[in-house]
Amino acid sequence: MRLDYPTNVKIIRVPCTGKVDVMHMLRCFQKGADGVYCVGCLEGTCHYNEGNIRARERVGHVKNLLEEIGIEADRVRMYNLSSGEGPTFAAYAKEMTEHIKALGPNPLKEKLKKAASA
Amino acid sequence: MKVCPISLPNEYDEGLSERKAIFKQYPQAIPGAFGITKTGTAPCKATCPAHVSIQGYIALINEGKYDEALKLFKQDHPFPGICGRVCHHPCEGECTRNEVDQPLAIRELHRFLADYERGRGEYHVPEITAEKRDEKVAIIGSGPAGLTTAYYLLQEGYQVTIFEKLPEPGGMMRVGIPEYRLPRDILAGEIQVIEKMGAEIKCGVTFGKDITLDSLKKDGYSAVYMAIGLHGGRNLGVENEDAEGVLQGVDFLRDAAMGKKVEIGKDVIVVGGGNVAIDVALTAKRLGAENVTLICLERREEMPAWEHEIEEALEGEIKIVNSFGPKNFFIDKNKKVSGIEFKTCTAVFDEEGRFSPQYDEDVCQPFFGDTIIISIGQSTNLEGIKEQGIAVSRPGGLEADPVTFQTPIEWVFAGGDAYYGPKSVVDAVWCGKEAAESIHRYINGMDLKEGREQNWEYVKPDVFDEVKKDRVKVRCLNPEGRECNFLEVSYGYNEEEAKIEADRCLKCGVCSECYQCVEACLAEAVDHEQKPETKEINIGSVILSSGAKPYDPEPLENLYLYKKNPNVMTSLEFERILSASGPTMGHLVRPSDHKEPEKIAWLQCVGSRDTNKCGNTYCSSVCCMYAIKDAMIAKEHSGGNLDCSIFYMDIRSFGKDYELYYNRARDREQIRFVKSRIHSITEDPETRDLILKYADETGAMQEETFNMVVLSVGLEVPDSSLEMAKRLGIEINKHKFVETDPFTPVASSRKGVYTCGIFQGPKDIPASVTEASAAASLAGAEIAEARGTDIKTIELPDEIDIEGQEPRIGVFVCNCGINIAGVVDVPAVQDYAEKLPGVVFTANNLFTCSQDTQEIIKEKIKEEKLNRVVVASCSPKTHAPMFMETLEACGLNRYLFEMANIRNQDSWVHANNPELATEKAKDLVRMAVARSVTLKPLRGKVIPVNKRALVLGGGIAGMNAALDLAKQGFESTLIEKEGQLGGMARKLYHTIEGGDIKAYLEKLNARVASEEKIEVLTNAAVVDFEGFQGNFATRVDINGGEDTREINHGVIIVATGAREYTPKEFLYGEDKRVVTQVELGDRLAQQGAADLETVVMIQCVGSRNEERPNCSKICCQSAVKNALDIKKQNPDAQVFILYRDIRTYGLLEDYYTEARKQGVIFIRFDRDNPPTVGASDDGVLVTVKDHVLQRNIEIGADLLTLSAGVYPSDTEDVSNVMKLNRNSEGYFIEAHVKLRPVDMGTDGVFLCGTAHGPKLVSETIAQANAAASRAVTFLSKDEIKLSAIKAHVDTDHCVKCLTCVRSCPFEVPVFNVATGEVEIDPALCQGCGVCACVCPRQTIQLNYYEDDQIMCNIDALLAGGI
């Protein structure tokens, strides 16, 4: 459908959101990503039965971890849609981008820069 | 699609949006390719002698694409301006608009293009793409035929010289057509184009005098084209014709055109009734004649001149006198003409229409004038022609072949007026074009005739409700302004007028053949020359699956206001509104004002269960469920505040788990279900809301207003399917579905012809998909011997070992035509890729997926010794398998491949931001390259397939499945827990249609018994089971453990069946007069119904309640079947059926109707207010509240029959041993309700019969066929190659915490007690990666998605900074 969405969204392909590890999400923040979101199938329609439910739980877990280290928990989110919902995908991409822009840059990024310059 | 100028209603969106003539059906369509809607050639194009794509240039004018329109016109015709003025436009005569109002002003529209071109001062000169050739062609005559031939030969690269006798080029266009009709600069401009293309025009050269065939040959000309025209006049042959003052029309016009002084008197008489005569008359008037009289033989309506020319003559005050033939001229004493005497012409043509004038010499009339101009015909000047041996035809023209225009001298061709007599410019264009083709073929030694004769048939669309639009009038010089000058009379259209006129086009052929798509497609994939082909294929069987169409409620527009009020939609239209890819992008708004509706009503059974309005008396089976679904989705879209009401007769949620869905809609989503009859719908004219009047269950009239009304339209078989059935000679039942037998549900009346889906009968998707497999099974069985005979195997080279090699990465960046390159700076991405670590080769390709690029990739893999390939193009979902095959073909492991999706995830979605899109493309390529380094060669496990099947359950389902497998050549073991085969069917007598189940079962038993490929084990139970797809081992205990068998098999078909529920309610088991439907069937067969006075049946016993919420599907038809049986045996018996909803879906509705006709009384009761039953000596007393009467009624029954539900039998044991999933009611669960309805979640296990859910005998048989079919797809393979994307355990570091064992949704990881290790069997692993994530020590990795492979993706992405 070639629906427009922000260019700062980049997709990392996994076989199922059930394969998205807490470690993967944290690595994104560690390396300077401002936000991370998982897009899974609608709950109840996972090809692998419950991968998206696990992903939702893991996203929740990452939220807690981020909070603990002083990063806004809402920089990580879980979205669900079906493969036929292009417009919804684009809408979520915009929503997430606007949301992250409102939060501002990932605080770790400053530290990364300092570390790099030091 | 962007360049196509033709828009039409989008069928996929039910006409709620528009699409182009070139289109893809819908985004997910398979094949995912574009097609063009062409209904045929438009009448204008077919009729135009030059076959100009008229509809095409008109469509382009509509779009304001004038340059493209001109270019298109000039493809087929060199003179848009000339013909824009002088063409007799036969196209307009055939224009479909004639049938509505007036034809399109086709000529004026291309004149507009020519004027546009002239106004711009720059003429479009066709590009010559052919290479320049040495051959020379001489053309004699620079009229339209000669010029056209030159025009086309130049485009083929030839060198062309045109020789013209007169001092200026143009032939009759220059000297025959007066200037007021065709201004000289227009003519000159269009001739100049041909000169610019390279033609040399030599004027003042007379053929036969200055040049001859011999001299031309000597000068090296390869061919000559003779287009010398008709420049001589014809004489009357009457006395004194040679007198002074008698002129020849052709000469007169030529002299006038060439600016010679022509002496004419005040009173001019023109003899003749053709176009030339009219031009002569008007020219004479312009040269100063006071009175011009045109006299001709023909009656006014017979005149050969075109009507518009005659009208122009009349406007020019030319007096026209008809029906006179010249007798003799009067001369004065100076031998100067003074008049002419005419005789009356009584008939011009004879009975056969030949020219044969008859006169009445007695009625004569003299006319006086000082100049008389004869204009009765033209002739060729053959001086110097005959002498050269050029053949002359009988009427005095040049002789040539009518198709090739070759003369008897093979290198000489002839055409134009000199060949076929006086015709118009456009005919000359046609002739010149054909001659050019012939000359080209002649020079190249090709067959001149092959494929030349084209049949120009045309199509006209239906103009039934076309809106009238008046033709835009052409502004003209007023008649006074035309006097004594040669100013152009017609002004032509300006841009605005042209657009208004162009918009009148009816797009007859749909595709306008403007060929813009051909130019836009860089892959050169569009071919407008494709023609339908008729092919003959040898086949063993046929499957008819042509489906249904939704009922069109237009005939009921007065009742439902459909099409009268846009807020009344069919369910299919409404679904498009709900669809994210639909016309409103899934935004729920109503069509009249695009406001979000607050209240929507669904009306059920529109076009179904309807005897008096549409005649479709059957139930369409699917409408209740889709209405509920749509109401739920609509609610979801609107945020939950939407008020949804479904007006119904019976809610038929009879499918597996459908009742749960219905309950959820009603109880949780608050969708209102109103049992009612619709009386009428009226419109509130102000708001366009709809006022629904209906009778509720008590019969009281109610009125309610809704913002929208959705008509739940039923399904019906389209006429095209019926025609097909007729052609194939198969029987159709009275509802227009294929006639089938309940015991062979997918076989038609003709052997070898099968059917499935809705053409078989109304049904939903799961049932259709099931039947499709069933039909495939039976069709396949007929040709089982031929299986595998048409397969080609691909030989692959040995794999290259890349162990220890440094990465050598090749990056191929795709332009995808302009799909990527139109947005992303592809060369910049390629440059960037070159600098990435490990990259040794980069390229950019127009289409990386094309066959030739695959060859380049293969070449580069070998040349550059690539050990990783990255393609930056589109989606791996669609294209990775193809590229992976390319890798394999040169010995590189297929998993050493990675894609960067710079199209779907970049250029397509960031088209407005090319710079950022280019940067993102670089990011994506960097990620892909980084990931490719981490990739390892992977190999999918190959497992052999044991060709035996195990069929669990020896009922109708199991026996049919085993027999089907046998027919396809596969052995099976059929396991039955009872002592004999037959299952539940042993308790049944006949189907509702009257099919004898007992006889059928007997036959089935015999067939199984005599089938060598089936081994039957009775009194058998499965006790142990292990293995995976293709390699199962099952242990079976026989006769309670007396004997044990170990069976190795490749697949399992589960057909363990179901039983009738044993009721606990309504005195069942306490009172002998209370029985179940199965027992009643038995009684009716054994004892008959003679002793029964009153029978009451209670439906939904043990179904649709708290404990068993689902519907048992078959009980309504069982009740109706037994009720009809009672009525048949004892018509006086009273039968009451107490029901909640009667669910006689599909064609079963007929029996429900019949039962009511027979006097069976149906009384509805409420779920919360069930009947009560008491025993008395006189019978069983049943009390029920009647909804119509609103009071309790009491019935004393001899027999109370309970429609006891269907319960699965013994699924628990099987499930425990074989680990097969069951739902809460104990039925086995299919892998996917719609897509894989007879597969189970475990690969290699299939499911059929009532073990899957309640169903009829016919449905069971179809499902058994289907399960066998699915099993055969598996068994027919010798081995299965599994995907290599599987999880594996690093046993050295595993701490055996068993988290993976607990987490796997498929229970694949197991702790092997013998080895003490956790094992993951790749044959069972589904590759989801859940275990890899939960493993606390990361000792489990999922191939191709290992942690470092994902991490490096993240690192590479973020290394670029965000």
**Tens digits of per-residue pLDDT, B811-820?**
999 999 888 9
Residue A6 belongs to some domain of the structure: no
Q: What are phi and psi of B847, to 5 degrees?
A: -135, 105
Q: Nearest CA to B739 among B549, B609, B963, B544?
A: B544
Residue A55's pLDDT band (cuts 50, 70, 90): very high
Q: What is the DSSP string of B547-578?
A: --EE---GGGHHHH-TTTSTTEEEHHHHHHHH
Indicate the CATH number for domain B234-377: 3.50.50.60
Task: Identify whether the C-beta of residue B58 lies closer than 8 Å to the C-beta of residue B73.
Answer: no
Q: Which residues of B, range 76-135, sit inside 8 Å of A by Cβ?
A: none
Residue A72 belongs to some domain of the structure: yes
Question: Quick one: pLDDT at residue B239?
Answer: 80
Residue B505's pLDDT band (cuts 50, 70, 90): very high
Using CA atoms, how far apart are residues B593 and B1067, in angstroms rounded to an integer? 59
Alpha-carbon distance values, B277 to B137, B159, B247, B283, B536 (Å): 35, 38, 12, 10, 58
| Residues facing B1273 on adjacent strands | none
**Is A91 in the B-facing interface, judged by CB distances under 8 Å?**
no
Of A11, A31, A85, which has the smallest distance from its Cβ to B905's Cβ? A11
Using CA atoms, how far apart are residues B486 and A3, in angstroms rounded to an integer? 59
Task: For chain A, give the percent of residues with pLDDT over 70.
Answer: 98
In the three-class reduction of DSSP (H, G, I as helix; E, B as strand; rest coil), residue B1092 is classed as: coil
**Sole residue written with tokens 């016309």:** B583
Domain chopping of chain B, boundaries:
7-124+499-520, 136-231+381-447, 234-377, 551-716, 719-785, 809-934, 947-1057+1209-1280, 1060-1206, 1287-1342
Per-residue pLDDT tens for B285-317?
Answer: 888 889 999 999 888 888 888 888 898 888 888
Regarding an ipTM greater than 0.85, the answer is yes
Contacts of A104 in chain B (CB under 8 A): none
Using CA atoms, how far apart are residues B759 and B748, in angstroms rounded to an integer? 11
Residue A118's pLDDT band (cuts 50, 70, 90): low
Amino acid at B210: D
Token digits for B917? 């899109």
Q: What are phi and psi of B363, to 5 degrees?
A: -105, 100
Interface mutation target, options B1350, B1351, B1355, chain A, most CBs of A under 10 Å = B1350
Mean pLDDT for B1279-1302 is: 93
Question: Quick one: pLDDT at residue B484?
Answer: 74
Using CA atoms, how far apart are residues A28 and A33, in angstroms rounded to an integer? 5
Residue A79 belongs to some domain of the structure: yes
**Is A90 in the B-facing interface, judged by CB distances under 8 Å?**
yes
CATH label, B551-716, candidates 3.30.160.100, 1.10.10.60, 3.50.50.60, 3.20.20.220: 3.50.50.60
Length of chain A measured in residues: 118
* Burial readout B397-434 (b: 16 or more C-beta within 10 A, e: otherwise): bbebeeebbbbebebbbbbbbbbbbbbbbbbbbbbbbb
Per-residue pLDDT tens for B1240-1272?
Answer: 988 899 999 999 999 999 999 999 999 999 999
In the three-class reduction of DSSP (H, G, I as helix; E, B as strand; rest coil), residue A84 is classed as: coil
Residues 6 or more apart whose CB falls under 8 angstroms from that of B795 comprise none
Residue A8 belongs to some domain of the structure: no
Question: Quick one: pLDDT at residue B486?
Answer: 79
CATH label, B947-1057+1209-1280, candidates 3.20.20.70, 3.50.50.60, 3.30.210.10, 3.30.1360.120: 3.50.50.60
Q: Which residues of B, range 562-581, sit inside 8 Å of A by Cβ?
A: 580-581
Mean pLDDT for B232-256 is: 87
Per-residue pLDDT tens for B359-407?
Answer: 888 888 898 888 999 998 888 888 888 888 888 887 778 999 999 999 9
Report CA B633 to chain centroid distance, whole Å: 28
In the three-class reduction of DSSP (H, G, I as helix; E, B as strand; rest coil), residue B1294 is classed as: coil
Token digits for B675? 């049992």
Interface mutation target, options A25, A30, A31, chain B, most CBs of B under 10 Å = A31
Contacts of B1332 in chain A (CB under 8 A): 19, 21
Residues 6 or more apart whose CB falls under 8 angstroms from that of B43 comprise B91, B94, B95, B96, B458, B459, B460, B508
**Sole residue written with tokens 């076959």:** B51
**Is A62 in the B-facing interface, judged by CB distances under 8 Å?**
no
Q: Please determine, for residue B1013, whether its predicted confidence score (pLDDT) is greater than 60.
A: yes
Token digits for A25? 């999400």
Task: Identify whether the C-beta of residue B54 lies closer than 8 Å to the C-beta of residue B48.
Answer: yes
Per-residue pLDDT tens for B145-193?
Answer: 999 999 999 999 999 999 999 999 999 999 999 888 899 999 999 999 9
In the three-class reduction of DSSP (H, G, I as helix; E, B as strand; rest coil), residue B429 is classed as: helix
Q: Nearest CA to B103 among B112, B114, B88, B91?
A: B91
Task: Identify whether the C-beta of residue A18 lies closer than 8 Å to the C-beta of residue B1329.
Answer: yes
CB atoms within 10 A of CB B361: 9
Q: What is the DSSP letter of B418?
A: H
Q: Nearest CA to A26 among A54, A62, A61, A58?
A: A62
Nearest-5° Cα angle at B474, B468 to B479 = 135
Contact: A48, B1330; criterion CB under 8 Å:
yes
Average pLDDT across chain B, whole number: 92
| Residues facing B73 on adjacent strands | none
CB atoms within 10 A of CB B157: 16
Q: Residue B513, by phi and psi: left (phi above 0), alpha (psi -120 to 50) or beta?
A: left
Q: Please determine, for residue B1233, whether its predicted confidence score (pLDDT) is greater than 70.
A: yes
Question: Quick one: pLDDT at residue B180?
Answer: 86
Sign of the dihedral defined by the CA atoms of residues B72, B76, B78, B80, in that order:
negative
Using CA atoms, how far apart are residues B757 and B754, in angstroms rounded to an integer? 11
Residue A1 belongs to some domain of the structure: no
Stretch (H or E) spanning B1176: strand B1172-1176
Q: Please determine, for residue B972, whether its predicted confidence score (pLDDT) is greater than 70.
A: yes
Using CA atoms, how far apart are residues B739 and B353, in angstroms rounded to an integer? 58
| Residues facing B1075 on adjacent strands | B1201
Token digits for B1249? 């019969």
**Sole residue written with tokens 């035996």:** B948
Stretch (H or E) spanning B311: helix B307-315
Q: Please determine, for residue B1361, whether its predicted confidence score (pLDDT) is greater than 70.
A: no
Q: What is the DSSP letter of B72?
A: H
Per-residue pLDDT tens for B416-465?
Answer: 999 988 889 999 999 999 999 999 999 999 999 998 888 889 999 988 88
Q: Which residues of B, range 849-888, sit inside 8 Å of A by Cβ?
A: 876
Question: Quick one: pLDDT at residue B1032?
Answer: 95
**Domain B809-934 CATH class label:** alpha beta
Contact: A5, B909; criterion CB under 8 Å:
yes
CATH label, B136-231+381-447, candidates 3.30.450.20, 3.30.2420.10, 3.40.50.720, 3.50.50.60: 3.50.50.60
Contacts of B1286 in chain A (CB under 8 A): none
**Domain B7-124+499-520 CATH class label:** mainly alpha
Task: Identify whether the C-beta of residue B91 lies closer than 8 Å to the C-beta of residue B84.
Answer: no
Task: Identify whether the C-beta of residue B701 lies closer than 8 Å to the C-beta of residue B693.
Answer: yes
**Is B910 in the A-facing interface, judged by CB distances under 8 Å?**
yes
Using CA atoms, how far apart are residues B266 and B272, in angstroms rounded to an integer? 19
Contacts of A85 in chain B (CB under 8 A): 580, 586
Amino acid at B4: C
Token digits for B491? 């002004």
**Domain B1287-1342 CATH class label:** alpha beta
Q: Is the peptide bond before B90 cis (omega within 30 degrees of 0)?
A: no
Using CA atoms, how far apart are residues B871 and B889, in angstroms rounded to an integer? 16
Contacts of B1285 in chain A (CB under 8 A): 15
Contact: A10, B1326; criterion CB under 8 Å:
no
- Please give the residue that has the higher pLDDT: either B569 or B330: B569
- Provide the residue range defining the domain that includes A100: 17-117
Residue B134's pLDDT band (cuts 50, 70, 90): very high
The radius of gyration of chain B from alpha carbons, rounded to an integer in Å, stands at: 43
Q: Min CA distance, B910 vs chain A (Å)?
A: 6
Within this chain, domains B551-716 and B1287-1342 share the same CATH topology: no
Mean pLDDT for B955-964 is: 97
Task: Identify whether the C-beta of residue B372 lies closer than 8 Å to the C-beta of residue B271.
Answer: yes
Residues 6 or more apart whose CB falls under 8 angstroms from that of B285 comprise B268, B292, B316, B317, B318, B483
Q: Please determine, for residue B615, whether its predicted confidence score (pLDDT) is greater than 80.
A: yes
Contact: B1330, A16; criterion CB under 8 Å:
yes
Nearest-5° Cα angle at B278, B272 to B284 = 105
Token digits for B589? 């708004």
**Is B1235 in the A-facing interface, judged by CB distances under 8 Å?**
no
What is the total count of domains within chain A? 1
Sign of the dihedral defined by the CA atoms of residues B904, B908, B912, B918, in that order:
positive
Q: What are phi and psi of A3, to 5 degrees?
A: -80, 135
Nearest-5° Cα angle at B690, B687 to B694 = 155
CATH label, B1060-1206, candidates 1.20.59.20, 1.10.1660.10, 3.30.310.50, 3.50.50.60: 3.50.50.60
Mean pLDDT for B922-939 is: 95
Residue A7 belongs to some domain of the structure: no
Residues 6 or more apart whose CB falls under 8 angstroms from that of B499 comprise B61, B62, B64
Q: Nearest CA to B1245 among B1049, B1111, B1098, B955?
A: B1049
The radius of gyration of chain A from alpha carbons, rounded to an integer in Å, stands at: 15
Q: Please determine, for residue B483, whether its predicted confidence score (pLDDT) is greater than 90.
A: no
Contacts of A49 in chain B (CB under 8 A): 1305-1306
